[in-house]
Amino acid sequence: MNRYFLFLVVVLTGCASPYELLLRSPDADLKYQKAFEFYHAGKYTRAKELFSQILLVNRGTARDDSVQYYLGLSQYYGADYEEAETTFDQFAQIFPRSPFTPKARSLRIECLYGMTYRWELDQLPTYTAISAINEFLYDYPNSELAEDCRKKLDELNERIEKKSFESAKLYYKVENYRAAAFALRNVLRDNPDNRYREEIMYYVVAANFRYAVNSVSFRQRERFLAVIDSYYNFVSEYPESKYISEVEGMFRRAQRATAKDKAPEIVE
């Protein structure tokens, strides 16, 4: 039985490739050397496997940060972005003063950015990426990577702003005008600098107007007053808006409907 077992070991070992033998080897120094050779040759999958194997062996040694950093690089350039993001995040926490840390954090941002979705979909990954970028810019405001981070930050914030605007506008599209006005005002309350502010304020006027028009007669006056109020808010900020003629038409009808001693206008 023992001879048969030894025979199998010899046969299987003889069939193994040099790389498979390397993976089985207990020689951490050899694996360290070969991992870098594979990495620089662009063989990232093999480099990743070797760096992973020697990660714990080198914990607390002078090689520690190099092994974990190059593990992340191997994952990143091998297009394994989720694993790379985790590795770079852990790296920055374990080695905050390593010379590799700024680059590791910037590559983590690249991974997070690549895992975000267009504005119509879930924006939780976008918030995670925004948080990472803000932390990076706070710690490295003068980094050569800062400008690219700011561009990404602006793009991601635009997605968030568009998502909040379009979500609120959906109430208008389904003709729930009261909810639309409320939701749109909340968008501006949460973010007064929303880049869609002009459109949001226009839809507040329009939603208030549609809500008033569709109200029962004895409720119309007070609701047209809300139209007038939102109109003044709009024109004070955007007197030259492309929506100005439309909101002025709503305003005039609201004025007629709220004129003293005059019954509300009946709208077909």
Residue 267 lies in a domain: no
Which residue would you say has higher pLDDT here, 113 or 3?
113
- The torsion angles phi and psi of 131, rounded to 5 degrees, stand at -60, -45
Per-residue model confidence (pLDDT) at position 260: 60
Sequence-distant (6+) residues with CB within 8 A of 5 are none
Domain count, the chain: 1
Per-residue model confidence (pLDDT) at position 192: 96
Give the relative orientation of helices 244-258 and 217-237 as an angle to the nearest 10 degrees.
140
Average pLDDT of 10-14? Answer: 47
Which residue would you say has higher pLDDT here, 37 or 17?
37
Residue 143 lies in a domain: no
Per-residue model confidence (pLDDT) at position 2: 54
Mean pLDDT of the chain: 91
Least reliable range by pLDDT among 17-26, 97-106, 155-164: 17-26
Residue 124 lies in a domain: no
Residue 186 lies in a domain: no
Residue 94 lies in a domain: yes
In the predicted model, is pLDDT for residue 11 greater than 50? no
CB atoms within 10 A of CB 13: 11
**Domain boundaries, position 64:** 21-103
pLDDT over 90, % of the chain = 84
pLDDT over 70, % of the chain = 91
Per-residue model confidence (pLDDT) at position 164: 97
Residue 85 lies in a domain: yes
Question: pLDDT, tens digit, for every residue of 40-81?
Answer: 999 999 999 999 999 999 999 999 999 999 999 999 999 999
Average pLDDT of 92-101? Answer: 95
DSSP annotation of 113: H
Concatenated DSSP letters of 208-268: HHHHHHTS-HHHHHHHHHHHHHHHHHHHHH-TT-TTHHHHHHHHHHHHHHH-TT-PPPP--
In the predicted model, is pLDDT for residue 5 greater than 70? no
Query: Confidence band (pLDDT; 50, 70, 90) for 14?
Result: low
Amino acid, single-letter form, for residue 226: A
Per-residue model confidence (pLDDT) at position 152: 97
Question: What CATH number does the domain containing 68 carry?
Answer: 1.25.40.10
Residue 66 lies in a domain: yes
Query: Confidence band (pLDDT; 50, 70, 90) for 188?
Result: very high
Per-residue model confidence (pLDDT) at position 18: 85
Residue 250 lies in a domain: no
Query: Confidence band (pLDDT; 50, 70, 90) for 1?
Result: very low
Average pLDDT of 229-250? Answer: 97
Per-residue model confidence (pLDDT) at position 26: 84
Least reliable range by pLDDT among 9-18, 199-208, 222-231: 9-18
